[in-house]
Amino acid sequence: MKTKNASSPISDDLKRRLADARRVGFFTGAGVSAESGIPTFRGDQGLWKRMKPEELANFDAFMRNPDLVWEWYQYRRKIVHDAGPNAAHRAIVEMEALFEVEVATQNVDNLHRRAGSTTVRELHGNIERNYCVECGTRHDDIEIGEKDAGAARCACGGLIRPDVVWFGEMLPQSEFTRAEDFAARADVYFVVGTSMVVYPAAYIPNTARVGGAYLVEVNVEPTEFSRVAAESYFGKAGEIMPRIAAAAREARNV
Ligand code: OAD
C-alpha cells in the first residue's frame, strides 16, 4: 500500500496505468456525495449515529411502522432532491471521454446519473424510485412535501415502499452481476468514499483485484481497504477526483 495525502501529486505509477488502461471502474459510497451535502452513514456525523438502521431500514420495521419509515425516506428524498452532483461525480463523468467506464455505487441518491455518468450499477437501489409492496406497480413520481401525511398507498391499497435495498434483503441480482463482470475486466479500479464494511457490495473491488486491476482508494481516512489498495489518496473526493481526471487526460495526451 502506498498512502498519499490530499496535496500529494498523482503518482507516476497511476499515470502509467492510466496511460495503458482501456477499462476503468469506480466503486463509490456515501463519501462521494458528502460534499453535495448528503450525510454519510458511519462516523461521528453519520446517519447511523443518530438513527437505528433496524428501525428504519428493514422490511419488518416498515410493515410495523410505515409512517415513520416513510417520513424518514421523504426527509432523505428532500435532501437528495435539493442537492446536486459535486466535482467528484463530474470528474468520473469526464473519464468517459478517455476510457470504457462503469460506476458501481452503493448510493441511492442518483447523483452519478444526474452528473451524466452513462453506466451506473445501483447496488442498493434508488431513493427516487418506489413500488407497491402488494402489486409491484411503480410509483416514481412521489411528491416530496415539507409536511408529510404518512406512508403513501397504491390504488390497490398496498403500501408504497422506496426501491432501496434494506438490511436482510438481496441486492438486485443483475446490477450486482454486471458490476462484478466489469470489475473482473477492469484495468484500473477506484474505490471512492466508502467504508467498505457492507457486504456483499464490498466484494466487488475484490473481484477487480483478483482480475488484476490496479486498485486506488480515495477517502478522507484509512479503511480496511487501504491495506489492499496499491495506492490510497486521503482527502476529499471532490478535490482528489478532479486531479486524477486531469492526470488521466495528461497520461492520454488529451
Ligand atoms: P459510510 O458512511 O459507511 O462510509 C462513508 C465513507 O466515506 C467513510 O469511509 C468516510 O471516511 C468517507 N468520506 C466521508 N466524506 C468524504 C469525502 N468528502 N471524500 C471522500 N471520502 C469521504 O458509507 P458507505 O460505505 O457508502 O446501505 O456505506 C455502505 C452502506 O451502508 C450504504 O450503502 C448503506 C449503509 O447502511 C444500505 O442502505 C443498504
Bridge partners (DSSP) of residue 192 are 28, 218
Protein residue with least CA distance to atom 29, ligand 1: 198
Which tens digit of pLDDT belongs to each residue from 6-26? 888 999 999 999 999 999 999
DSSP-derived 3-state class of residue 157: coil
Q: Between 76 and 52, where is the model more confident?
A: 76
From the alpha carbon of 41, which atom of ligand 1 is closest? Answer: 2
Element (H, E) at 20: helix 12-20
- Atom of ligand 1 lying closest to residue 107 CA: 33
What does the pLDDT read at residue 156? 97
Instruction: Quote the pLDDT of residue 147.
Output: 59
* 139 has catalytic annotation: no
Q: Which of 120, 118, 96 is nearest to 106 (CA)?
A: 120
CATH superfamily of 1-38+85-124+171-254: TPP-binding domain (3.40.50.1220)
What pTM was computed for the model? Answer: 0.96
Mean pLDDT calculated for residue range 167-171: 95
Tell me the angle at which helices 237-251 and 12-20 cross, rounded to the nearest 10 degrees.
60
Please check the confidence at residue 92 and state whether its pLDDT lies above 60. yes
**pLDDT of res. 52:** 82
Between CA 137 and CA 21 the distance in angstroms is 42
Q: Which of 81, 89, 112, 124 is catalytic?
A: 124
Domain boundaries, the chain: 1-38+85-124+171-254, 42-82+126-164
Query: Which CATH number fits the domain 42-82+126-164, given the four candidates 3.40.140.10, 3.40.50.450, 3.30.1600.10, 3.90.1150.10?
Result: 3.30.1600.10
A 10 A CB-CB count for 44 gives 6
pLDDT computed for residue 76 by the predictor: 92
Name which residue sits closest to atom 25 of ligand 1, judged by CA: 194
Residue 95 near ligand 1, beta carbon < 6 Å: no
